[in-house]
Structure 1
């Protein structure tokens, strides 16, 4: 579910007018988009970003065979090796900075820096490979990072009731689970809005 029409860091020639932060912006929030290999993190950042997204994709090689689990993503030819970055304005005043993490476990050491200062996270999952989400969710829980689950709508992925997904992922009742299509800007934006509403609800919850 990856697109190849955005620029990589190595080919950026300079900011465009639309890449500049709006003058009306008064607050910025760092959000992390996480998930296993091939679940659609880069696709989501590219789809929803109002600026030209930055990516660190590299061509996959034979060296990854037996190391990276690409089940369900056999057609992928590139993979994120550091991070993806994008930006979206939720209102005229509020801007979200989006950081997509690399999915392969061998690059997870980079997560430490990406999580610094993050207010929350969207966990993208692929129902064909729920097991790749277990360690991702565990790391967020260990760090105390609030998150929501976004079930990416792959055409051949099985559809499970929310209750079954919640039980399989061992999630508490308060964590939102939503469906999304990471290729679609509106759908990806809705997933981010779900996270923002969830974060707002946490500020109103008595300690």
Structure 2
């Protein structure tokens, strides 16, 4: 057990003040940091379904910029974060490879919103993911995961490159950092709440 795991708080039960829960789906292309984000921010030991990558994936999984990656999610990641005294988020990380996208059909059921992780080194990999989201009509926010060798781009540059609506939040985060990951989730939850208010009849 590493130091991060040994220091992780393990609240077995939710505080009695919690009144609401929300399901959030964390999506993005292969190798963008979904498992890392869920694991960094979860207040419980995260559930992971990672398997060692084999030769069978050679030529299928694009490893540009990911040469050190040795495992991949094959079903989902799961974590939990108590966002306030009254609200808890259940986080589901979806596998990024196209051959696992059928699993999204089940994972997206009941979700109130999606956090889309992108990597500016491989931004074109995000286009198909965003196309999938448009078909579902759920609110989403884009979180730019900052890798050590990532370029730095403005929100406007990211928005233009991904053809995002002006109302879609764009945030920058380090998926390894709990506070940074938390801020990305807060941006999504705020966006979901604002959209719900706009859609509520006067």
TM superposition score normalised by structure 2: 0.92
Distance in 2, matches of 1:55 and 1:19, equals 18
Match in the other structure for 1:181: 174
Distance in 2, matches of 1:157 and 1:96, equals 29
Match in the other structure for 1:93: 86
Moved more, 116-125 or 17-26: 17-26
- CA shift for structure 1 position 119: 0.1
> Residues 66-91 of structure 1, C-alpha deviation per residue, up to 9 Å, x if partnerless?
01112111101111000000000011
Q: Report whether the alignment pairs 1:134 with 2:134.
A: no
The total of aligned residue pairs comes to: 195
- CA shift for structure 1 position 17: 5.9
Contact 1:128 1:158 in 2 (8 A): yes
- Unaligned 5+ runs, structure 1: 7-15
Contact 1:49 1:88 in 2 (8 A): yes
TM superposition score normalised by structure 1: 0.90
* Structure 1 segments (4+ residues) deviating >2 Å: 19-24
Contact 2:159 2:165 in 1 (8 A): yes
- CA shift for structure 1 position 167: 1.1
Match in the other structure for 1:168: 161
Moved more, 21-30 or 63-72: 21-30
> Residues 122-142 of structure 1, C-alpha deviation per residue, up to 9 Å, x if partnerless?
000000001111111111111
Contact 1:44 1:183 in 2 (8 A): yes
- Unaligned 5+ runs, structure 2: none
